[in-house]
Structure 1
Amino acid sequence: MITQTVLNKLEFPEVRRRLSVHCQYSVASDLARELTPTPDRRVAETWIATTAEARYLLDSFPEFSVGGARDIREMLTKVEKGARLQPSELLMIMDTLAAARRLKRMFIKLPEYEERFPNLLDIIHGIENVHRLESALEQSIGPRGDVLDSASVELARLRKAVRVAHSRLTERLNNLRSSSRVGSAMQENIVTVREGRYVIPIRADARNVVRGIVHGTSASGQTLFIEPFDVVELNNSWRERQADERQEVNRILDDLSEKVADHADVLRRMVDSVAEVDLALAKARYSRAIDATRPVFHDTTTSAQRVRSEDIGHPSHIVSLREARHPLLNPDTVVPLSLDIGADFRVLLITGPNTGGKTVALKTVGLLTLMAQSGMFIPAAAHSELSVFPDVFVDIGDEQSIEQSLSTFSSHVTNIVSMLRRVRSTSLVLLDELGAGTDPQEGSALARALITRLLESRAMVIATTHYSEVKAYAYATPGVENASVEFDVETLSPTYRLTVGIP
């Protein structure tokens, strides 16, 4: 199990955030921010192969993209509960249907797509044809999110009736305000609307000139907004026709919402498929941005599985990195590292000065492992090889906590004790500054005991320390190898370069 604490310690959430920036679809962006490493090697292989296909696709056809799809998941939940979708929401569903259809059509037009992109094709298969639903929506909803007259014969008839009623009403009002009796009583020679009904503005001192219903007054009280009795029936007719129109529009929206609800499962699979394609493309874009390559997963089935006491290497897993770089550091200044662990030893102990790059080396291995198990290329030279670890355990503190108090030391010990209860041979264990935060003699003894216990568990371990006794212990213990970050004696500054075999 890889916990959220481990992901946070290795700064994986920041990698996910940077990956999400390369997504074009908001649902894919959500997937990127929630991406979790898989403990299953076959799944990891499939994810990496999918990313490789996406990288080849973008390299060969740069114009290929996911565009126009919207996040309609909330709307699907609403209609399944019997809610009525609004025209703007139905328009978003239309946009998503059209985007998914374009994506699928664009994909199957690619040359030899079945042979070149089998994993992407499996995802594309999740986009099903829903022509009848799309046709019903296109017939009913306009590009501005309005219900079209073509939505139903009855709606077209009712809207015509509304226009006729409105024309008769405005014609009568224009006749009234052009008459000398009413015109002389008007504050302004205009027609306006109050409470959804047409009225004319009459001066308060001419109230008795125009008989009708008062719908309001101006702020000064000098103007009354009156609906003349002569147009009450025409106003009523217009309002009734509008009510009939609204009722028919609601019936159409209910009918379309029911159709969407009937296709909710299909639409969810469509959204998921479009998002998965976009996530694969985002992984490909991010790999180009950080100059990453496809990692090779070590085939544990070809490794010796027998556990013998004299074994010094790992029984099944290896990590072999070439020119690996931490993806969150400046690529122009970061110093690449290369290391092999698992074949000849399974515990690597890194020593060196403070701020010399020990913790960065530790985090680089851990973070690249998480990236690979999440289907992402890694910033390392080609043919770098990693294993899939079901469990990753981390105990890394910052510089201050490493140096400081008993409470911090106790926290580290508690974390390590919990780790030892769960660690197994397929685990990756990363420990920063073994035994730090306490008396040097006690810390050194604790570090040696911890390494001994981890050797017995047969886990793969990378740890850092500055205790000379631990370096000597590693030198004399089979299965443990020393490494160091170089220090330039002339400039008295670290070079950040990792050297394996030299403490």
Structure 2
Amino acid sequence: MEKMNEKSLNTLEYFKIKQQAQQYLVTDLGKKELKHLSPYINKTEIEAALDETKDAADILRLQGGIPLPKIVDVKPFLKRLDIGATLSAKELAAVGKILRVTNEVRRFFRDLQDDEVDLTKLYETAFELETLPQVTKKLALSVENDGHVTDDASSLLKSLRRQIITTEQSIRDTLAEFTRGKSAKYLSEAVVTIRQDRYVIPVKAEYRNVFGGQVYDQSASGQTLFIEPKQVVSLNNRLSQQEAAQNEEIRRILRELSELIAPYTAEIEANAKLLGHLDLANAKAVYAKNIGATEPAITDEQFLYFRHAWHPLLDLKKAVKNDIMLGQDFKTMLITGPNTGGKTITLKTIGLIQLMGQSGFFIPAGEGSRIGIFDEIFADIGDEQSIEQNLSTFSSHMTNIVSFLDKITPHSLVLFDELGSGTDPQEGAALAIAILDDVAAKGSYVVATTHYPELKVYGYERPETVNASVEFDSMTLEPTYKLLIGVPGRSNALDISSRLGLPQTIIDSASQFVSKDSQDLNNMIGDLVQKRHDVEEEKIHTQQYLKESEQLHSDLEKAYAALNEQRDQLLEKAKQKSNDMVNETSKKADQIIADLRQMRLSGGSNIKENELIDAKGQINQLHQPENLKKNKVLKRAKQKHDLHPNDDVLVKTYGQKGVLLRKAGNHEWEVQIGILKMKINENDLEKISVPDENAKGNRTSVKRTASSGISTSLDLRGQRYEEALTNVDRYLDSAQLAGYSTVTLIHGKGTGSLRSGITQYLKNNRAVKNFEYASPNAGGNGATVVHLK
């Protein structure tokens, strides 16, 4: 990848931006990638880098960042594996950590995808990570993060370590007898210690022969000897053999693990590099959050527009923010103003922000800012305010300018600080004008600071060139560091002299010699630039409103779809629950009906078969269909139930036509059937069309169905007196319409008041021919048999 010149990067302090971002990195490869990072010059690469930072910023906002632990660079270890070497336990642990983190990061991004988090680039990066499940599992089982080989690495290693523990305990128990018993008086200190990997006790020199054995060490004074008593020599020998066997088994395990991962060195190295890349994207996002940076847009035309921009190395709370434009109406900007007024820092701000944007960093500017794409940024800046550099001389300026004049292209950004300074003012101004003309002829973009008044005139006369200045407060006699585009710097001599006490008569006299034409032109140019700025701001606000509106519209569509889906799910659940309840009830009803049928067959009850069938049918009607949304038959049925007064209807129970009079309740209508007025449930009504009597063609006739659905008996037991008489009245009307000649009213015996009331009612009902109590085996005086006319 082609890189920008290092001299300009150093001049603009690009390396300090990388230093600030480095503190947020946790992986060695992330730090390595940042070290070699330089601004991209290809639009596709710039967009990709900014998209990655945007993705990482979204993850930081939603999840607190990408979960990456500290990871070392394993590339040297992998190279050793490629030549057949065996890695140490710590090296294997580092490789195993790469594999475990690979699994965790892939799982993290898969969860983000399942949660429908919208990312532009990092999904692609994360899913390039290649997991090696078997290798990962074996390394995790065998080696801990600190490089300790676990007991589970092999059964032999586990056995050897148990033997070592047992032997060590035996040695300690044996030596403890010397430290606690009569022999303790021969010891310098009642402790057990280790010398040359052998367990020993500290014995006073004069008693060296008491314990026998071998001396392995002595104190500096020679008064204490560290002796291995003869009682533990064989145990120590056994321990040495066991430890040697353990070490040999560990070497075998490390060799086996090295051979296991050797075929996958390319995949592991690629994973480590991808994790470092994700680490860098995450660090860019954290850095952007901490300095308040925003994502810039990219323009192909090199139109810069930095809103409320500030230098990223300054304190955000104290930095003065400026709006900076370049490229659309002018390609050259000449900044004038007093020393220490902020000219140089403005120049460096422009260059550094552009470098940051082309490196994939968010920029220290307001939302809606735009960067261009430059193949090179050349900077000749002698920062007199920097203690890190000596004052630039004329020769050093010229040497630097000469070095890049032949490299400038139409896609370059050139920054001149105090162009032509350090020599005779007249010659310096002439050189500055000539250099600016040469750079402009090549089509480059230029920002230059100067003290020369001749360059103010140059800003008026040359096309695509504009004057600018840093503001100076004549009241406080201090700079404000505000950039004024379109307005050249003023000397402020008259204002300053007035503030310092120069007589007003002198001030007025001097004012007469100052031409007002230049000031009027300044005001006109400043007004035009302000209008351009206002248009840019309005455009940004409009785009922001449009973006917010589109987001709101998208959110509403998603919410509406989710609401509909939730409603459908609730309806289906409710129907399913209702059907489950009906099924349960139906099972119980089936059992009851079966019992009743059995009773009737056995002669124990006067229950008719059609009553059992009707009861079963009513229960089955409680079922809710699973999906009624697109059922056209049901839609037509619903239309038939859309009832209104004066509609012609069919009373399905009686098979009779009638006319609706009024709605008598939530689900009941008063219906005129012939000379009768009855209250009928709307589920028993069907709207029909009655043809005109004069119309030709077949006339519609309605016949009573074979089964009216009306029972030949009415059970009134348990009902109050008024309720029972109302039900009897309705029932007899229905029975008469159904064509029944005999019905039975079951009122029970009880106190006899209900029976007496029904008897009195039947005597006064003109539809009743006669009546008598039921036969003894059919209920006796607990039921009345009514014969209808």
Same fold (TM over 0.5): yes
1:279 aligns with 2:280: yes
Equivalent position amino acid for 1:156 in 2: K
2:405 counterpart of 1:412: no
Confirm whether residue 381 of structure 1 aligns to residue 383 of structure 2: no
Residue of structure 1 aligned with 2:381, choices 396, 408, 411: 396
Q: Over residues 306-347 of structure 1, what are the superposed CA-to-partner deviations in whole Å (9 max), with x where a residue is unaligned?
A: xxxxxxxxxx43222222222222223322222332223221
With over 3 angstroms needed to count, the CA separation of the structure-2 counterparts of 1:430 and 1:149, relative to structure 1, is: same
Deviations 1:156-208 (A, max 9, x none): 2322333344455455555677886x667555554433222233444433344
CA distance in 1, matches of 2:290, 2:174: 69
1:336 aligns with 2:321: yes
Contact 1:203–1:223 under 8 Å retained in 2: yes
1:62 Cα deviation after fit: 3.4
Deviation digits for residues 55-89 of structure 1 (CA, Å, limit 9, x no counterpart): 22322x13343232421435444544555444344
State percent identity of aligned pairs: 39
Q: Does 1:325 align with 2:327?
A: no
- Given residue 370 of structure 1, which amino acid in structure 2 is its aligned partner? L
Q: Which residue of 2 aligns with 1:473?
A: 458
C-alpha RMSD over aligned residues: 2.8
Q: Amino acid of the residue matched to residue 279 of structure 2? A: D
1:267 paired to 2:252 = no
Q: How has the CA–CA distance of structure 1 residues 407 and 26 changed in structure 2, closer, same or farther, with 3 Å as cutoff? A: closer
Q: Is the 8 A contact 1:69 1:97 kept in 2?
A: no
- TM-score, normalising length from structure 1? 0.87
CA contact 1:16–1:33 (8 Å) conserved in 2: yes
In structure 2, distance between residues paired with 1:20 and 1:4: 19
Q: Secondary structure at the match of 2:436?
A: helix
Matches within 5 A, 1:115-126: 116-126=118-128
State the alpha-carbon separation in 2 of the partners of residues 232 and 11 from structure 1: 69
Query: Which deviates more, 365-374 or 275-284?
Result: 275-284
Q: 8 Å contact 1:21–1:29 — kept in the other structure?
A: no
2:15 matched to which residue of 1? 13
Partner of 1:38: 40
- Check whether the contact 1:406–1:438 (CA below 8 A) recurs between aligned residues: no
The match for 1:307 is none
1:114–1:280 distance in 2 versus 1, CA, 3 Å: farther
Q: Does 1:49 align with 2:34?
A: no
Alignment correspondent of 1:303: none
**In 2, distance between residues paired with 1:195 and 1:188?**
19
Amino acid at match of 1:101: N
CA distance, structure 2, for counterparts of residue 383 and residue 167 of structure 1? 73
- Residue 111 of structure 1 deviates from its aligned partner by 4.5
Matches within 5 A, 1:249-264: 249-264=250-265
Higher RCO (C-alpha 8 Å, min separation 6) = 1
Contact (CA 8 Å) 1:293, 1:382: kept in 2 or not? yes
Distance across 2 between alignment mates of 1:27 and 1:124 = 16
Partner of 2:476: 491
Q: What is the distance in 2 between the residues matched to 1:406 and 1:224?
A: 72
Task: Indicate if the aligned counterparts of 2:22 and 2:283 stay in contact, CA closer than 8 A.
Answer: yes
1:156 pairs, out of 145, 155, 158, with 158
Mapped contact 1:141–1:148 kept (Cα < 8 A): yes
Match of 1:459 in 2: 444
> For 2:390 and 2:88, how far apart are their aligned partners in 1?
60
Q: Secondary structure at the match of 2:156?
A: helix
Distance 2:169 2:148 in 1: 22
Instruction: Find the aligned partners of 2:115 and 2:38 in 1 and give their Cα distance.
Output: 28
Secondary structure class of the residue paired with 1:355: coil
Structure 1, unpaired ranges of 5+: 300-315
Q: Is the 8 A contact 1:486 1:499 kept in 2?
A: yes
Larger CA Rg, structure 1 vs 2: 2
| Residues 187 and 290 of structure 1: CA distance in aligned 2, closer, same or farther (over 3 Å) | closer
**CA–CA separation in structure 1 for the residues paired with 2:391 and 2:57:** 50
TM-score (norm 2): 0.57
Letter in 2 for 1:134: T
SS in 2 for 1:116: coil
Alignment size in residue pairs: 483
Q: How does 1:288-299 map to 2 (within 5 A)?
A: 288-299=289-300
Name whichever of 93-102 and 369-378 sits farther off: 93-102
Distance in 1, matches of 2:287 and 2:126, equals 21
Secondary structure of 1:107 counterpart: helix
Cα shift at 1:411: 0.9
Aligned to 1:309: none
Alpha carbons of structure 1 residues 339 and 172: separation in structure 2 relative to 1, 3 Å: closer
Alignment of 1:45-194 (within 5 A): 45-59=47-61, 61-73=62-74, 74-80=76-82, 82-111=84-113, 116-142=118-144, 145-170=147-172, 173=175, 185-188=186-189, 190-194=191-195
User: Does the CA-based 8 Å contact 2:344-2:383 persist in structure 1?
Assistant: no
Q: Are the counterparts in 1 of residues 30 and 277 from structure 2 also a CA contact under 8 Å?
A: yes
2:546 alignment counterpart: none
